[in-house]
Structure 1
Amino acid sequence: MQSPIPVLSMRKLYLGASDRQQFIADLGRAARDVGFFYLEDHGISLAEQVKVLDTAKSFFALSDAEKKQVQMIHSPHFRGYSANYSELTAGRPDRREQFDIMDELPALSASAIHHEWQKLIGPNQWPRQLPAIKSQLLSWQDKLTEVSLQLLAALCESLEQPADALAETISNGPYRHTKLIKYPGSPEASGQGVGAHKDPGYLTLVLQDENSGLEVEYEQQWYKVAPRPGAFVVNIGELLELASNGYLKATNHRVSSPKTGVTRYSSAFFMAAQLNASVPVLKLPSHLAKHAKGPTSDPGNPLLHNVGENVMKGRKRSHPDVSARFYASEEKCSSC
C-alpha cells in the first residue's frame, strides 16, 4: 500500500511569499487529513541526528546497575530510565527501554505547590558514566523546541488565525519532554513496542534509525512510517485537535517490535502548552468551522483543558510504579 504520509520541506517557509503560503497550505492539509508528515530541511544536520542516536546506544549499553542508578522510580518528576515493560500504553506493557528528560529546573518547595501537577517540575537524572549527555540532550531539546514553535505558528496561519494565536499558552515556555528509546527484537510477529495511542500535546517530532516499526492509522488501515534519512516524523497532538475544535487531527499510531536479532533506536520530542495553561478553542472562519466536528474523546482517557492536569494524568497512567511510590497517599486522600 502506498504511504499516505506527505513529505514537507521547511525551507519553503523562508523563501518567497508564494513558497511560504504553499508550505502553510501543505502543512495544514497534512495536519487535517493524516495528522502525520515527514519534515525535511529543518536546519538540524544529519550528523547531529546521528550523534543523538549514538548517545542512545551508549546509554542503553550501560550495565543494568548503572541504568538503575537513574531509574524513574527515584524521580517524583517522572524523569530517568525505565526498563522493558515498565511503561503502559492502553493498559498493556510496552516492550522498550527508555530514558526521559524534560526541562532542567529545581523542584518547587512544598509551600509553593498548590496543584499536584506542579510536582512535575524538577531536575532530570543524568548518568555519571556519560558526562556529556546532559549538555547534548538539553541543547537537542532546545533546537527541536525552535522547530516545533515555528511549526505551531505556521499551523495557526493554516487555520487562518494570527501566527501567535496560541502564544499565550507558551508565553513562559512550552512544556517539553524528550525520550531516548530502544526497541529490542521480539519473537512475536506483531509484538507491542508501543501500543496504539494519540499524543497529548501540540506536536511530536520523532527521529528514527534505519529500522522500521512506527505505524500510523489512516482510514482504518495501518501504514508503516518508513525511516527517511535526515527527516523528522511529525505528528499532531490532542491539544491542537482541541484548539481547532477537531479540525486538525491527532492520529492513532503505534510501534511494532522489530524481529528477533534487530534492535531499533529512536528519539521522540513532545511539545505542549505550558503546564499552567488552559488551551482555548480558536474561532475558525465559517468555511473551516463547518468541518470542525469537535475533538475525539476516549471515555477511558478524557482530554482535560488544563495542561498540567492532563500531563499528570498521562504520566501516572503510563508509570504506575512511580505513581504508587510518590502519589499513592494523595490518591487515597482524594477518595476519602
Structure 2
Amino acid sequence: MSDTFPVLDLRDAERGPEARAEFLDRLREAVHDIGFFQLVGHGVTGAAELLDLSRRFFALPDQDRHELDILNSPHFRGYSELGRERTRGVPDQRQQLDIGPERPAGHPAPGEAAYRWLVGPNQWPAALPALRPAVIDWMDQLTDVSHRLLGLVLESLDTSADFLDTVVAPDPQVHFKLLHYPGPAASADIDPADQGAGVHKDLGLLTLLVQDEVGGLQVAVEDDHFVDVPVVPDAFVVNLGELLEVATRGYLRATVHRVVRPAPGVDRYSMPFFYSPRLEASMRPLPSRRVSEAGGVVVDPDNPLFACYGDNVMKGLTRGFPELIARHHPDLLTATGR
C-alpha cells in the first residue's frame, strides 16, 4: 500500500504523551502535505449496516425514490437522479440522497442571507423506514468524531484544541450523502466525458468518507496528477475543506479530488459526511507560527473562497444544482450573473 495516504489510529492520541506526540506529528504532516489520510480506531459502528441500507435505498422502485426528488426541496434535501448535480458544469454520473440536520422549514426574511434556505426538513423514503434512525445515529457519531479530530488538527498546529469551538458550537452545519455510482451497461456506453464526480474541493472543515470495496476516489497529489485512494477496511478517508485553508492562510490545503466512474456493470457506493461551521460563522486565522508564516490561500478566480461558511456553501450549491436554483431561487442566478 502506498504511503501517500497515511493510516492514522485515533486511539494513539490517548495512549500516553509519547504516542500522542507521534500521532500529532503524523497528523500535521498528513494535513499539510496532502490533505488526505485514512483514520482507523475511531470507534464508530454501523458502517456495514448503513451501506447495506444505502444499497437497498437505491434498489427501490424509481417511483419511491422520485417521491423524494431534490427539485421539490428549496432546502437542497432529497434524491438526485443521474446527472442532477454538476461539477464545473458537467453532470456527475451518480445517484444520491442529500441529508442535513432535521429542522422546520426556514424561509429567509427580506435582507437575510440566502444560506438560510439550508435550514429545513429532510425527505425520507416511506418504503425504507429503517433508514432514518440509522442515518441520524450515524450523523451523531460522526459529529462527535469530527469535533474531536478538529481539535487534534488544531493541537498539531500548536493551537488550542478549542480555538474553533466558537464557529462550530453549539450547532455545526453537517451534511451527509448516500451515493451510488452505477457503471455503464456496456463498454460501448462509455462516454469519455463521463465523471462519477468531477474535479472539486470540499467546502467546509472536514470530510469523513466511507467507500465500499470498489474504490474510485482519486486525489491530485500534484497538478493534474491523480492517485487512487486505497480501500482500507473500517477506515474513514478524511480530507480537509476550504474553510480550514482559509483559517490557516493556506498552510493547510483543501486538496482537489474526483471520483472516476466504475467499469461497465459495476456499482460503487460511498457515504461522505461533511463537518462545517455554523452557517453564519466566519473563520479567522489560527494563532500559530506556521499559519502566520504561510503564503495565503490558493487564488482561483473561478473559485473564490469565502470566510463565512454559509456564503461558501451557497457558492457550491448554486453551481451544482442549477435546475433547483432556477425553480426555487432564481434571484440567486441574477445575483451571480448566471
Separation in structure 2 between the aligned mates of residue 87 and residue 334 of structure 1, nearest angstrom: 18
Counterpart among 275, 278, 286 of residue 279 in structure 2? 275
Counterpart position of 2:204: 201
SS at match of 2:56: helix
- Measured after TM superposition, the shift of residue 283 of structure 1 is 2.7
| Cα RMSD, aligned residues only | 1.8
Separation in structure 2 between the aligned mates of residue 54 and residue 281 of structure 1, nearest angstrom: 41
Deviates more, 1:35-44 or 1:12-21: 12-21
Q: How does 1:169-248 map to 2 (within 5 A)?
A: 169-186=167-184, 187=187, 188=190, 191-220=194-223, 221-248=225-252
Counterpart position of 1:116: 114
SS at match of 2:227: strand
Q: Give the alignment's TM-score, normalised by structure 1.
A: 0.94
**Counterpart amino acid of residue 178 in structure 1:** F
Percent identical pairs in the alignment equals: 43
| Unmatched 5+ stretches in structure 1 | none
Counterpart position of 1:29: 29
Separation in structure 1 between the aligned mates of residue 323 and residue 270 of structure 2, nearest angstrom: 24
- Relative to structure 1, is the Cα distance of residues 333 and 198 closer, same or farther in structure 2, using a 3 angstrom cutoff? closer
Separation in structure 1 between the aligned mates of residue 249 and residue 48 of structure 2, nearest angstrom: 38
Separation in structure 1 between the aligned mates of residue 71 and residue 271 of structure 2, nearest angstrom: 21
**Counterpart amino acid of residue 204 in structure 2:** G
Deviations for 1:244-266, whole angstroms, at most 9, x for unmatched residues?
11111211110001100110001
Separation in structure 2 between the aligned mates of residue 236 and residue 57 of structure 1, nearest angstrom: 27
Does residue 90 in structure 1 map to residue 76 in structure 2? no
**Counterpart amino acid of residue 40 in structure 1:** V
Does residue 9 in structure 1 map to residue 15 in structure 2? no
Q: Is the CA contact 1:113–1:119 (under 8 Å) kept in the aligned structure 2?
A: no
Deviates more, 1:110-119 or 1:234-243: 110-119
Q: Is the CA contact 1:70–1:81 (under 8 Å) kept in the aligned structure 2?
A: yes
- Relative to structure 1, is the Cα distance of residues 262 and 333 closer, same or farther in structure 2, using a 3 angstrom cutoff? closer
Deviations for 1:213-237, whole angstroms, at most 9, x for unmatched residues?
0001113321101211100100011
- Measured after TM superposition, the shift of residue 315 of structure 1 is 1.1
Counterpart position of 1:77: 75
Separation in structure 1 between the aligned mates of residue 336 and residue 300 of structure 2, nearest angstrom: 23
Q: Give the alignment's TM-score, normalised by structure 2.
A: 0.94
Counterpart position of 2:62: 64
Q: Is the CA contact 1:87–1:94 (under 8 Å) kept in the aligned structure 2?
A: yes
Separation in structure 1 between the aligned mates of residue 16 and residue 146 of structure 2, nearest angstrom: 21
